[in-house]
């Protein structure tokens, strides 16, 4: 029984990495079998098709958000900059997975997972953003600004320069631009 579960987890872990690197449409069962060093027959023992696998990946990602990543955010992010981006750099694969969700958000499954993560993340980040930028704005405006920054940041991230300082600089530039607009229009 443990071997069966281990193989299922192996499929999911390899698929998670491929999803993060290539996106869902580029994943093939043949490529998964090769990367996981398991037979295609074994894949069909665990999953009825690629869509079921992707549904399981999304569940796995959302569960990771709930359990480990939000715990890490609470424990390790005391200051918006640089702490959030030091953590992001250390979890590049999760960030890439989230990037793929953002890129594929026309599909409701991916959009839901992307927005769910963004919402859970913002619950932790908003107080730190208010503190970092010394904001005296209604919470709804800060939330809207952070949502804009989150989307713009993920749309413009450079995975060839995925370092905490580059990520923090990008987010800070976007946030200052958004806040300048918000302050002009209040």
Give 111-146 pLDDT, tens digit per residue.
Answer: 999 999 999 888 889 999 999 999 999 999 999 999
pLDDT at 1 over 90: no
Band of the pLDDT at 65, cuts 50, 70, 90?
confident
What does the alpha-carbon distance between residue 45 and residue 60 come to, in Å, rounded to a whole number? 19
Report how far apart, in Å, the C-alpha atoms of 37 and of each of 12, 32, 100, 127, 170 are. 13, 8, 24, 45, 39
Tell me which H or E stretch contains 120: helix 108-133
Q: Which two tokens stand for residue 167?
A: 């990520």
Cα angle value 38/69/182 (rounded, 5°): 130
Taking alpha carbons only, the member of 95, 87, 171, 72 closest to residue 129 is 171
pTM of the model: 0.90
The 10s digit of each residue's pLDDT in 68-82 is 777 888 888 888 899
CA 152 remoteness from chain centre: 14
CATH of 2-184, one of 3.30.1240.10, 1.10.357.10, 1.10.10.60, 3.10.580.10: 1.10.357.10
- 52 phi/psi in degrees, rounded to 5: -65, -40
Average pLDDT on 56-61 reads 95
């Amino acid at each position: 029984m443990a071997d069966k579960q281990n193989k299922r987890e192996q499929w999911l872990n390899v698929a998670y990495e491929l999803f993060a690197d290539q996106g869902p449409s580029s994943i093939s069962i043949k490529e998964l079998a090769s990367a996981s060093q398991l037979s295609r027959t074994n894949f069909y023992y665990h999953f009825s098709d690629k869509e079921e696998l992707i549904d399981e990946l999304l569940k796995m990602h959302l569960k990771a958000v709930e359990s480990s990543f939000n715990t890490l955010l609470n424990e390790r992010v005391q200051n918006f900059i640089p702490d959030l981006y030091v953590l992001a750099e250390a979890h590049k694969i999760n960030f890439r997975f989230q990037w793929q969700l953002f890129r594929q958000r026309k599909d409701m499954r991916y959009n839901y997972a992307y927005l769910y993560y963004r919402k859970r993340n913002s619950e932790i980040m908003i107080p730190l953003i208010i503190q970092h930028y010394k904001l005296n704005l209604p919470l709804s405006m800060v939330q809207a600004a952070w949502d804009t920054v989150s989307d713009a940041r993920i749309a413009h991230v450079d995975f060839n320069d995925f370092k905490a300082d580059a990520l923090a600089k990008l987010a800070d530039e976007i946030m200052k631009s958004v806040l300048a607009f918000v302050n002009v229009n209040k």
